[in-house]
Homo-oligomer: A and B are copies of this chain.
Amino acid sequence: MSERVLSIQSHVSFGYVGGKAAVFPLQCLGYDVDVVNSVNFSNHSGYGRFGGSKATPEDLIKIFNLMEQNGLLSPSRLLTGYIPGGEALTVIAQLAKKLRSNNPDLIYLLDPVLGDSGKLYVSPDVVPIYRSILPLATIITPNWFEVETLTEVRLTNVDALRRALAILHEQYRVPHVVVSSMPLVPPVEAGLPAILRSPKSSEDLICISSSFIPDHSKRANPPELSSVFVLRFPCLPGYFSGVGDLFSALVLAHYRPSLPTLPQSAPPTQTPLSIATSHALSKTFSILEFTSAQLLSLPEEERTLTDDEADGADPERKVKRMRGRELKLIQGQDILRGERPIETRWMAAWEDFWHSK
């Protein structure tokens, strides 16, 4: 029997962010997806001009109640992304609580969409509400800035990263944390496993997965709190929207609670989370490479780089760039389905994470 995901995200008519970036990949991978739209907008905010309507908290409650009355509210998985406003988020929190209590095995992937690159997208009063929902999640997929915002720890070195992960696992009881992307600053690079310290580009990013070890006191001395894996990958030039939404959906799609048989090409030590993250990151990266390659065939005016000054002088400049940078999910759907051969970028165990200096 196939599994059913309830996905609560923003909807845009044109382009691929929020639900438009998450639902199709999940469907391609065999999931029935129940889709609740937190907003119905024309396009993503990066175009400068955008808008439409938002679901009110009452709209959301009505839809969830009707689904429940009809026996349609028993998904095996829950996915939540960008939810604008604290009231709507509180409704989602109540729903997550109900689904979790109805089904202790519910796999809830919470993408705490708060901001990026040092800037909040949401109003600051949403942050404590997100913190209150964290204990309901099975997996969270914050970027580095969202980890900093949720934990109030600046991720300047490996020790800070340890403290932040400890807060998420211990204080907020999140079993599985994926830090979707984090710049590789020198103090973090110095703490990486030796194999990843090769002299690659300083523009590289890392992705980290961390799965809580319930009886960690017994595991080692000094104890390890979680199994940490890390992947280093190059940063592709320019900004693409919807990447985090696609990545989170793919982590959820590839996550299996028990460890599957691994292909021979995989490193022998893996966790269910590191496997899901490896597949999600590999596919997301391939979609980005494919989208970038398609960009080269566009007229020059549609592949300008971000330049706030030039964009300010000519809003159309930004709009044209945005159109060209929409993820090519349709043309690259065989990547999503695993039917086009791509390099699987396997995460590496960060063995001494909890002990390194």
Contacts and interface: CB of A to CB of B under 8 A. Distances in A.
Interface of A: 2, 6, 11, 13-15, 20, 24, 27-28, 30-37, 40-43, 47, 49-53, 55-56, 59, 62-63, 66-67, 69-72, 316, 319-320, 322-323, 330-331, 333
B67 A43 contact: yes
A72 B323 contact: yes
Contact of A42 (B41, B42, B49, B70): B70
Given A24-B24, A36-B13, A49-B69, A42 B55 contact: no
Contact of A319 (B27, B35, B55, B71): B71
Given A42-B66, A43-B67, A70-B322, 10 more contacts: A27-B333, A36-B40, A42-B63, A42-B67, A43-B72, A50-B70, A51-B63, A52-B62, A53-B55, A71-B320
A333 B43 CA distance: 27
Contact of A52 (B11, B33, B66): B66
A9 to B, nearest CB: 12
18 contacts: A11-B35, A27-B330, A27-B333, A28-B333, A30-B330, A31-B330, A32-B330, A37-B40, A40-B40, A40-B55, A40-B63, A42-B63, A51-B63, A52-B59, A52-B62, A53-B55, A70-B322, A71-B323
A249 to B, nearest CB: 14
A62 to B, nearest CB: 6
Q: Which among A11, A30, A36, A70 has the highest number of chain B CB atoms within 10 Å? A: A70
A43 B70 contact: yes
- Specify how many copies of this chain sit in the oligomer: 2
B63 A331 contact: no
Contacts of A31: 330
A201 B138 CA distance: 54
Contacts of A30: 330-331
B37 A11 contact: yes
A52 B56 CA distance: 10
Nearest to A40: B37
A35 B63 contact: no
Given A31-B330, A35-B20, A62 B51 contact: yes
B35 A13 contact: yes
Contacts of A63: 13, 40-42, 51-52
A69 B52 CA distance: 14
A69 B34 CA distance: 31
A66 B51 contact: yes
Contacts of A49: 66, 69-70
A310 B319 CA distance: 57
